[in-house]
Structure 1
Amino acid sequence: MHGGFLQLLKKRKELIPLIGIVGCAALGATAASIYFLLTKPDVILNKTRNPEPWETLDPSTPQKLITINQQWKPVEELELVKKLTNDLLSSESSY
């Protein structure tokens, strides 16, 4: 198989840049996928360990690649709902 492929490349040298570019693109796509899988909080593999990882994020740190003029202020009503939900869940689990 490889001998035939190398002979084809020797005959048709114009395919070498094309194969190089496609190979680099495939390598870049694979590297980006692995990077996002390991570093981004919205990509999860194991839902049983932490089903909502976005709840533990610090909202003051930017999550995008480029963030321009971002100012984050907590919404009081949302914080109250989160606190009440956590209190309710913790009281239910103690029974």
Structure 2
Amino acid sequence: VLVHTAFDLIPLFIFIGGGATMSALYLGRLALRNPDVSWDRKNNPEPWNNLEPTQQYKLFKVNMDYSKLKKNGPDF
């Protein structure tokens, strides 16, 4: 069945392609921006210790102002 003869399948391909694209982009964001992922274990074995309390790494912030947070732990 060719797509140009079955017009009912066009929305299916659009939504499946969009969902696959969004999931690939989210996976890439998790791999590159998440502090739990360590790409360079020799020079930066614990990247979560280099985070400032004002740095936002979550995708969404809900009622949170990161600029007003204070560091409550020791420096590593």
Q: Which residue of 10, 23, 26 corresponds with 1:29?
A: 23
Gap change, CA 1:27 and 1:41, over 3 Å in 2: same
Give the structure-2-normalised TM-score: 0.67
| Unaligned stretches of 5+ residues in structure 1 | 1-6, 87-95
Give the structure-1-normalised TM-score: 0.57
Q: CA RMSD in A?
A: 2.4
Identity among equivalent positions (%) equals 27
| Unaligned stretches of 5+ residues in structure 2 | none
CA deviations on 1:31-78 (whole Å, 9 max, x unpaired) are: 122223222322233333322000011013333321424553443xx4
Q: 2:63 is aligned with what amino acid? A: I
Gap change, CA 1:51 and 1:33, over 3 Å in 2: same
Q: Which residue of 41, 50, 53 corresponds with 1:56?
A: 50
